[in-house]
Structure 1
Amino acid sequence: MKAFSLAIIVSTLIGQLSFAQTKTYKIDSQKARVEFKVSHLGVLTVNGVFTEFDGEIIRNNGNVFMLKGNVYVKSINTNEKARDKILLSEPYLDEKTYPILHFQSSNVDKASKMIAGELTIKNEKRSIEMPYEILDDQIDITTRISRKDFNLDFGSMNALIGDSIEIEIHITF
Structure 2
Amino acid sequence: MYMKKVLLLFVAVITGFSLLAQSQYKVDPAHTSVNFKVKHSGITFVSGKFEKFDGGIIGSMDNAEQARIFFNVDVASVNTGVKMRDDHLRSADFFEVEKFPSMSFESTSIEKVSDNKYKLNGKLQIKDVTKDVTFDVDYGGSVKGQNGSEVIGFTAKNTINRLDYNVAYDPDAAGIGKDVHIVIYLEFKKE
Q: Tell me if both proteins adopt one fold, taking TM over 0.5 as the criterion.
A: yes
Greater radius of gyration (CA)? 1
Tell me how far apart the structure 2 counterparts of residues 144 and 132 of structure 1 sit (CA, whole Å). Answer: 13
TM superposition shift of 1:63: 4.1
- Deviates most, 126-135 or 59-68: 59-68
Q: TM-score, normalised by structure 2?
A: 0.76
Q: Equivalent residue for 1:62?
A: 62
Tell me how far apart the structure 2 counterparts of residues 77 and 31 of structure 1 sit (CA, whole Å). Answer: 17
With over 3 angstroms needed to count, the CA separation of the structure-2 counterparts of 1:42 and 1:155, relative to structure 1, is closer
| Runs of 4+ residues over 4 Å off in structure 1 | 155-158
1:154 match: secondary structure: coil
TM superposition shift of 1:94: 0.6
1:78 counterpart letter in structure 2: T
Tell me how far apart the structure 2 counterparts of residues 156 and 148 of structure 1 sit (CA, whole Å). Answer: 7
1:87-126 paired onto structure 2 within 5 Å: 87-111=89-113, 113-126=118-131
1:55 counterpart letter in structure 2: G
Q: Equivalent residue for 1:161?
A: 176
TM superposition shift of 1:78: 0.3
Tell me how far apart the structure 2 counterparts of residues 172 and 153 of structure 1 sit (CA, whole Å). Answer: 32
With over 3 angstroms needed to count, the CA separation of the structure-2 counterparts of 1:44 and 1:25, relative to structure 1, is same
Tell me how far apart the structure 1 counterparts of residues 140 and 59 of structure 2 sit (CA, whole Å). Answer: 14
Match status 1:39 vs 2:24: no
TM superposition shift of 1:155: 4.4
Tell me how far apart the structure 1 counterparts of residues 130 and 171 of structure 2 sit (CA, whole Å). Answer: 25
What is the count of residue pairs matched by the alignment? 156
> Is contact 2:170-2:176 (8 Å) kept?
no
Match status 1:75 vs 2:86: no
With over 3 angstroms needed to count, the CA separation of the structure-2 counterparts of 1:73 and 1:114, relative to structure 1, is same
Tell me how far apart the structure 2 counterparts of residues 104 and 61 of structure 1 sit (CA, whole Å). Answer: 17
TM superposition shift of 1:170: 1.0
Deviations 1:144-173 (A, max 9, x none): 000111111104784210010000111112
The answer for unaligned runs of 5 or more in structure 2 is 1-13, 142-151
